[in-house]
């Protein structure tokens, strides 16, 4: 069955679009009629995503661009390039770029703590700021920013002192952005994935997966496409009265 076309004529940028959840979001947005800019620090994987979009969604123009979301200049260049190419800024933005650098609290180096905050939290700030400024300056009347937090930002996780802090920060950032940007017609919401199959979780040891899976009510890890479904809802007018919220996409992990 063909996907409903809820994002026709919309331009979206997806950071981390070269892999896992970001790639699934790019594919889903394109299938709903959006033009998609795949933005990733890994340019090769961004182009692989573009290849999938160009093959399967020929009706719209898509683009792949390299970006390091932790660097203001790089994010500025990304948004400028999108504007010069499409003659408009994106009205939909998903901040899926993220990293882990796991270690127990007592062994975590300052460098590894900073690295994760720089990408996950500061990167979300820089992209949210650049996209919203461009959208407001261009007079875009309807926007949706979807940030990617994590369930562990709410409940914490052993070995992820840096990551859980960064993701808790993303939730607070999103609620504040929602308050400041509602007057411009820009909605901001945060998704909180649980335990999703992706290159990021491929690194998780088997014994940890074995311990976590019974805690998931759905009894299995989630799929990137299941997170993309929720991002599509938040990007589309189906959620036009929703802003400033966090939505768990976690199969019931940690609710008990």
Distance CA 248, CA 38 (A): 24
- Nearer to ligand NAP by Cβ, of 20 and 90: the residue is 20
- Nearer to ligand NAP by Cβ, of 49 and 236: the residue is 49
Return the residue of 11, 13, 20, 168 that touches ligand NAP, per CB under 6 A: 20
- Nearer to ligand NAP by Cβ, of 41 and 62: the residue is 41
Q: Is 164 in the site for ligand NAP (CB under 6 A)?
A: no
Q: Is 16 in the site for ligand NAP (CB under 6 A)?
A: yes
- Nearer to ligand NAP by Cβ, of 35 and 124: the residue is 124
Find the angle CA(122)-CA(124)-CA(126) to the nearest 5 degrees: 70
Number of residues that bind ligand NAP (CB under 6 A): 30
Torsion angles phi and psi, residue 127, rounded to 5: -70, -40
15-36: b (≥16 Cβ within 10 Å) or e: bbbbbbbbbbbbbbbbbbbbbb
Q: Is 50 in the site for ligand NAP (CB under 6 A)?
A: no
- Nearer to ligand NAP by Cβ, of 136 and 225: the residue is 225
Handedness of CA 120, 182, 62, 198 (dihedral sign): positive
11 three-state secondary structure:
strand
Which residue from 164, 170, 166 is spatially nearest to 190, judged by alpha carbons?
170
From 56-64, 128-136, 195-203, 238-246, span contacting ligand NAP (CB under 6 A): 195-203
Return the residue of 119, 145, 168, 235 that touches ligand NAP, per CB under 6 A: 119
Contact 121, 173 (CB under 8 A): yes
141 three-state secondary structure:
coil
163 is catalytic: yes
Nearest-10 Cα torsion for 115, 121, 124, 127? -60
Torsion angles phi and psi, residue 158, rounded to 5: -55, 130
Name the residue with tokens 């479904």.
Answer: 229
Q: Is 201 in the site for ligand NAP (CB under 6 A)?
A: yes
- Nearer to ligand NAP by Cβ, of 140 and 250: the residue is 250
Least distance (Å) between residue 213 CB and ligand NAP: 13
Return the residue of 7, 12, 14, 21 that touches ligand NAP, per CB under 6 A: 21
Q: Is 169 in the site for ligand NAP (CB under 6 A)?
A: no
From 17-25, 103-111, 134-142, 231-239, span contacting ligand NAP (CB under 6 A): 17-25
Tokens of 113: 């703590």
Distance CA 240, CA 233 (A): 9
Contact 36, 22 (CB under 8 A): no
From 5-13, 30-38, 77-85, 188-196, span contacting ligand NAP (CB under 6 A): 188-196
The residues of the shown chain that bind ligand NAP, judged by CB under 6 A, are 15-16, 18-22, 40-42, 45, 67-70, 96-99, 119, 123, 148, 150, 193, 195-196, 198-201
């Amino acid at each position: 069955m063909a996907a409903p076309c809820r994002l026709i004529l919309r331009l979206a940028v997806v950071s981390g679009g070269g892999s896992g959840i970001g790639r699934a979001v790019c594919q889903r947005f394109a299938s709903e009629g959006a033009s998609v800019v795949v933005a990733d620090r890994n340019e090769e994987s961004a182009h692989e995503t573009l290849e999938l979009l160009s093959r399967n969604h020929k009706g719209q123009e898509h683009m792949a661009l390299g970006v390091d979301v932790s660097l203001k200049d790089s994010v500025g260049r990304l948004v400028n390039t999108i504007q010069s190419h499409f003659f408009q800024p994106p009205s939909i933005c998903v901040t899926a770029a993220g990293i882990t650098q796991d270690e127990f609290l007592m062994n975590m180096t300052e460098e590894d703590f900073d690295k994760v905050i720089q990408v996950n939290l500061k990167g979300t700030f820089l992209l949210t700021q650049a996209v919203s400024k461009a959208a407001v300056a261009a007079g875009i009347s309807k926007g949706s920013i979807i940030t990617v937090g994590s369930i562990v930002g709410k409940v914490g996780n052993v070995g992820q002192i840096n990551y859980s802090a960064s993701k808790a920060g993303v939730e607070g950032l999103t609620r504040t952005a929602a308050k400041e940007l509602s007057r411009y017609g820009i909605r901001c919401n945060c998704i909180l994935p649980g335990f999703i199959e992706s290159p990021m979780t491929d690194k998780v040891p088997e014994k940890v997966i074995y311990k976590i899976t019974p805690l998931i009510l759905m009894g299995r890890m989630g799929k990137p496409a299941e997170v993309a479904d929720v991002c599509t809802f938040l990007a589309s007018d189906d959620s036009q009265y929703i802003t400033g919220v966090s939505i768990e996409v976690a199969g019931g992990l940690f609710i008990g």
